């Protein structure tokens, strides 16, 4: 039996199952990239892949002048990579660059059964395993369906091997594929409707929070920069904080009481990553709305990462894409405990003017961060002169609790107050504002 006619692997064969959990990673070095840049991207892919429990047995960085439309890499490199995968008993080849549906089919045909996937599919699989809330589950399902639809021909390739060349069988296979495409499109429409309902519910929850309008801060940053650890350090939120990419996908909002007694809302958001699948940016728009709606952003940068500049640039780029690029930003250089060298710290502070050195693990810099949050929250305060009628004693009492009262004097018509009023009380106070 020739290679072209060989039977497909039995999916229940233990060796087939084992090979499917072993992979060769392939990175591309283009003309405008250095070997070090390509290597660091491949290192990040390895971390993504190992998060899925896949054993990485070999890694290849292929130098590419022009992308090959059939395999992404040249035919000689394709044969070399396929041979390496077979030699290492791997059933999986994972590219750091995006593969088109046609390129995936070509790889799996020309490599005689090795499965080829790309970085986008890896990230989707991670999101599938991590999504917990209904919103995140729906968002991930939508992205997966959008990924699957143009790849159905690859999934139905077993028909080509089984049909024996009969025209009727070919028609039946194509009809079944069309039926599956219709089912996926129907499911996409249903998921979008369900997601719209969940987004509406989140908007309702946000409006409830805004009835007592507290300053809102969203923690943003590259994945694994320590955002959840920082939220836990500041608020005791108890959010999962693991040393792995995309440890948590669902936004968590907690109240944070500042030393002055002021209260704000702090939200942890999903982390960003380079080459984030565009469909995931779209699918997670609802989750990332917490960043869009926030008054301020706390941008967490991993001080210990050699790629921190590019990670920071990626975060700012995605924030711009989702409409949050104009928010005031407080930059936090986290994991300072891993960079004790004063020269390293000085270099980082020079690259990020105005940033704060923090260790969410040890607590270093937390006091300075709280002071910066206090300053930012206070920037929305408004000096006001008020004449509050005696019948509105409750408002006067609240001002003494939640505002900075500079002076207070009782008069026949009410109490004359001069105060610095936080944003959440300004609308309540405006009817009693006086000009002098």
What mean pLDDT is predicted for residues 97-106? 90
Q: How far apart are CA 154 and CA 380, in angstroms?
A: 56
Highest mean pLDDT among 158-172, 235-249, 314-328, 365-379 belongs to: 365-379
What local confidence, expressed as pLDDT, does residue 424 receive?
78
Q: How far apart are CA 384 and CA 419, in angstroms?
A: 6
- pLDDT tens for 209-244 read 555 567 889 999 988 889 989 999 999 866 555 555
- pLDDT tens for 256-289 read 988 887 888 898 887 777 777 666 666 555 556 6
How far is residue 258 from each of residues 374, 377, 384, 421, measured CA to CA in Å? Answer: 7, 10, 22, 16
Residue predicted with more confidence, 278 or 361 = 361
Strands 92-95 and 115-118: parallel
**CATH for 214-378?**
3.40.50.300
Q: Nearest 5°: CA angle at 85, between 17 and 278?
A: 80
Indicate whether 173 pLDDT > 60. Answer: no
**CATH for 3-129?**
3.40.50.11060
Contacts (Cβ under 8 Å, ≥6 apart) of 369: 234, 330, 332, 356, 358
Q: How far apart are CA 179 and CA 375, in angstroms?
A: 59
What local confidence, expressed as pLDDT, does residue 337 receive?
95
- pLDDT tens for 15-72 read 555 567 899 999 999 888 888 888 988 998 998 888 888 999 999 999 988 888 999 9
Q: Where are the strands (E) in 186-278, listed by range?
A: 216-221, 252-257, 263-268
Q: How far apart are CA 436 and CA 425, in angstroms?
A: 21
Helix (H, G, I), strand (E, B) or coil at 299: strand
**Confidence category of residue 201, pLDDT binned at 50, 70, 90:** confident
What mean pLDDT is predicted for residues 157-182? 54
On average, the pLDDT of the chain sits at 82
Q: Is 79 exposed, middle or buried (0-12, 13-18, 19+ CB in 10 A)?
A: middle
Residue predicted with more confidence, 6 or 144 = 144
Highest mean pLDDT among 8-17, 146-155, 222-231, 332-341 belongs to: 332-341
């Amino acid at each position: 039996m020739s290679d072209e006619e060989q039977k497909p692997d039995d999916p229940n064969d233990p060796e087939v199952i084992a090979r499917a959990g072993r992979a060769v990673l392939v990175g591309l070095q283009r003309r405008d990239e250095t070997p070090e840049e390509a290597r660091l991207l491949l290192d990040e892919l390895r971390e993504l892949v190992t998060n899925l429990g896949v054993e990485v047995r070999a890694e290849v960085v292929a130098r590419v002048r022009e992308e090959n439309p059939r395999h992404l890499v040249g035919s000689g490199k394709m044969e070399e990579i396929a041979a390496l995968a077979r030699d290492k008993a791997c059933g999986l080849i994972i590219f750091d660059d995006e593969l088109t549906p046609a390129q995936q089919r070509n790889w799996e045909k020309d490599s005689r059964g090795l499965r080829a996937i790309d970085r986008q599919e890896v990230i989707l699989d991670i999101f599938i395993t991590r999504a917990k809330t209904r919103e995140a589950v729906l968002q991930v399902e939508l992205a997966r369906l959008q990924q699957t639809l143009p790849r159905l021909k690859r999934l139905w390739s077993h028909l080509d091997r089984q049909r024996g060349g009969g025209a009727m069988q070919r028609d039946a296979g194509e009809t079944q594929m069309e039926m599956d495409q219709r089912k996926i499109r129907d499911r996409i429409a249903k998921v979008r409707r369900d997601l719209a309902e969940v987004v509406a519910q989140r908007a309702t929850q946000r409006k409830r929070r805004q009835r007592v309008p507290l300053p809102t801060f969203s923690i943003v940053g590259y994945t694994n920069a320590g955002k959840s650890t920082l939220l836990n350090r500041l608020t005791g939120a108890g959010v999962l904080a693991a040393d792995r990419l995309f440890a948590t996908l669902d936004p968590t909002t907690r109240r944070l009481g500042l030393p002055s007694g002021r209260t704000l809302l702090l939200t942890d958001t999903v982390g960003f990553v380079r080459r984030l699948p565009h469909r995931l940016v779209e699918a997670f728009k609802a989750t990332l709305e917490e960043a869009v709606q926030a008054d301020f952003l706390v941008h967490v940068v991993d001080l210990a990462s050699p790629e921190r500049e590019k990670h920071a640039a990626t975060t700012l780029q995605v924030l711009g894409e989702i409409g949050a690029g104009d928010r005031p930003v407080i930059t936090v250089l986290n994991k300072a405990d891993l960079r004790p060298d004063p020269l390293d710290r000085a270099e980082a502070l020079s690259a990020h003017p105005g940033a704060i050195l923090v260790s969410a693990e040890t607590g270093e810099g937390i006091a300075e961060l709280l002071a910066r949050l206090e300053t930012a929250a206070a920037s929305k305060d408004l000096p006001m002169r008020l004449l509050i009628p005696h019948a509105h004693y409750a408002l006067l009492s609240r001002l003494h609790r939640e505002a900075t009262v500079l002076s207070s004097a009782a008069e026949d018509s009410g109490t004359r107050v001069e105060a610095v009023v936080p944003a959440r009380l300004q609308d309540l106070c405006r009817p009693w504002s006086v000009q002098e």
